[in-house]
Each structure stands twice: as structure tokens, then as C-alpha cells.
A = this chain, B = another copy of it.
């Protein structure tokens, strides 16, 4: 820490350092204890961070009473500090800027401008049944939602839906567990190893080992994985937390890949090819910002795998909220409509959100540069087939993790 600007006093550096320690201790505990419960921390984090803000927008206000909270929270989602909008004032006027995770409420502006187009009206007598489409392998999948998923992927060009089955889930988190269930063997003598190249989404271990399944088990960094036998590798691309474009790293026989493509949308990264993997996960939370709906979807090539994923969701929650599926269908439709090649009365959703992310990243880079405390990794610019221009990745996820160890 050679260079310290007047922006931070020593007192504040100490606070940052202590917060980092707490974070690292927690992370170490978390690694060993996996899903052991620490509710007080979690709840406190939630309370502190729900309105947590974006360091960049508020950089003018950073004073000696403002400090960063770098704690790694076990709470909500692979979401993003860069998709949050607010900053929380604590008792006594201290400001906590939590850049660990966020909430995609920044897209609210777009949806407010869109007005009634995405308003959904559900009469009390609708959607009483458990069933959505009994002719479909995934019997709780609303046909309208499935249709809009297919259309949106076609419009954006980020995934092939042909020859894939769609399985809807209560967010992609449930689908991730459904995939583990579907890809593991009921008869195996030991749990199948689940790996992902570090740095990986911090909740993967907790989710995988939550109920200590004998079917699957978290086995850490894919780059260090050298155990014989079958394994499941999670390929998160763009990656959470660092936004890098990824491919499988283990590359051995017996491996099964799950592609978490939650952030493979044009506001975060360049669309370079239509993904055509065996099992791909997506979520409305990241694509349109509707985290409260808890809707995700999987594109699955193998019919038996899709059936087993459906079975898991049947046993876990007997299907997925119809109301939210119908709402998500309407939202996806409006997104596709807004990006029609022939033009639309609305601004294309991805142009708007790409611009939002771009602005925020510029501000973050400026603030980080001024602080002299951190560096932000430079990621290569790529041509986006959807937006028709090249841009650097602008991850929406917990970007602090990408630079919190890079002290200058």
C-alpha cells in the first residue's frame, strides 16, 4: 500500500482491512463448514446491504465517514453491486457501501418508461391448477413462457434452443440443484464431485452441500481437481465474480458440464456465438432484472436429463409459480419487441442496459483509479454480434471480488 490518497484516512483503511479480515475468516469458515448456519451474520448482512449502493455514483460523497463493506455475505444471489442503485446511511450518519452483492433494481427505470406494456392482470379464478401443459415433459412449464424464451434467444442470438428441452425453475438456483440431481447416479458408491474453476460464485459450495447429499459433493477448484472418476464441472460464462469468458478446464473423460450462462446477455458481455451446450442455465433476474419473480430456465439436450430435472422440481416444490411465469413471459416479450430489427417505439432493452452498465463501469474505474488502493482487471474487448459493436466486458456480478486482493 505505497500510495494513499487523501480520499481515505488511516482510520478508514483500518475499517476496510478489518472488514476484509472478517470476510476472509468468514470465507475460511464457510469453506470448511459449508452450509452450516450463521443466521445472525446473514440477517445482519441483508439488513445492511439491501439498499447497498454503487460506489461509483456516490464517489463525490465518499468522506471519512464512508467505508466499504467487503464482507462476503451468504445471502442473496450472484447478483451485483453494479446493478444496485442506493447507498445506505447508518445510524450516526456513517455510510456503508456494500459492494459484495446487489439487487438488479437499476433496470427499474426502463420498466417504468415501458409503462403498461409489461403490466400483468391475473383474475382470481385463473391458474388454480398445478398443471401448465401436460403434453410437455416439463408439465409445470407455461407454454407462453416457453414461447418467449425461444423467441428471445433467437432475437439475441446467445443460445440455440432447437433440440433442447426447456425446464423452468424457481430461479436458476433451483435448476442448478435439479441438474446435480439429474446428473448424479442413484447407485454410485460415493457422491459425484462438483467443481468449478476459481474464482467461482461463492454460493456454489453452500448450495451443493446444503443438505449433505450422498449423490453429489462440492470438490472445489476445477483447476486443482485431480480425482479419478466422474465429475460435474460448472462453467460459468461470463464468470461470476470476474466476468471472464470461460470454457471447461478439467477436460477428462467422465466429466459432465453444466453451463451457467446467467450473465450471457448483451448488457454484461459481447454475444459472440449462439451457445449450444448440453445443459445451459439462464435466469430472469439477470436478463431483465426481475429477481422478485424467481424465474429461471434450463435448456437441456438430453431428454432423460430434462425429465430428471423436472422430477427434482416436482419433489422440491411441485412445480413453479404460474403467476411469475406468466409475468416473465410478458416481460421477455416486451424485451424481444423492443429489439426488433425493424425498430420499435421503445429503446431496445439491451441498448439501454448496456449503456447503464457502461456508465457505471466508467465511474467505477475512475473512482478506483483515484483511490489508489485497488486495481480493476482489464478484460479484452470483443465484437458483439447482437449490438454490432465491440466493447469490454462489464460484469453485473460482485465485481469487488475481482479486485479486492489487488492492493497497489
Contacts and interface: CB of A to CB of B under 8 A. Distances in A.
Interface of A: 33, 35-37, 39, 42-43, 46-47, 50, 74-77, 79, 103-105, 107-108, 111-112, 114, 116-132, 134-135, 137, 139, 170-171, 173-174, 177, 180-181, 186, 203, 206-207, 210-216, 285, 289-295, 304, 307-308, 310-312, 314-324, 327, 330-331, 334
B311 A127 contact: no
A212 B210 contact: no
**Nearest 3 A-B pairs (CB), nearest first?**
A118-B124, A111-B125, A127-B292
A142 to B, nearest CB: 9
8 contacts: A39-B307, A47-B134, A105-B128, A118-B125, A120-B121, A128-B289, A170-B321, A173-B315
> Of A122, A304, A331, which is in contact with the most chain B CB atoms at under 10 Å from its CB?
A122
Contact of A129 (B103, B215, B330): B103
A96 B308 CA distance: 26
B308 A37 contact: yes
A314 B42 contact: yes
**Number of identical monomers bound together in the oligomeric complex:** 2
Nearest to A123: B119
Contacts of A46: 131, 134, 139
Nearest to A191: B212
Contact of A186 (B36, B42, B116, B307): B36
Contacts of A121: 119-121
Contacts of A126: 292
A292 B210 contact: no
Of A37, A111, A124, most buried by chain B (CB within 10 Å of CB) is A124
A64 to B, nearest CB: 27
B118 A312 contact: no
A124 B330 contact: yes
Contact of A124 (B119, B129, B173): B119
Given A125-B108, A324-B323, A304 B39 contact: yes
Given A119-B121, A210-B315, 13 more contacts: A46-B131, A76-B314, A76-B319, A103-B128, A111-B125, A111-B128, A112-B125, A120-B121, A124-B334, A206-B315, A212-B214, A291-B318, A323-B323
A312 B130 contact: no
A293 B304 CA distance: 27
Nearest to A291: B130
A35 B313 CA distance: 12
A128 B324 CA distance: 12
A206 B104 CA distance: 36
Contact of A316 (B43, B114, B210, B319): B210
Contacts of A316: 173-174, 177, 207, 210, 316
Contacts of A310: 39
Contacts of A173: 315-318
Nearest to A170: B317
A321 B334 contact: no
A177 to B, nearest CB: 7
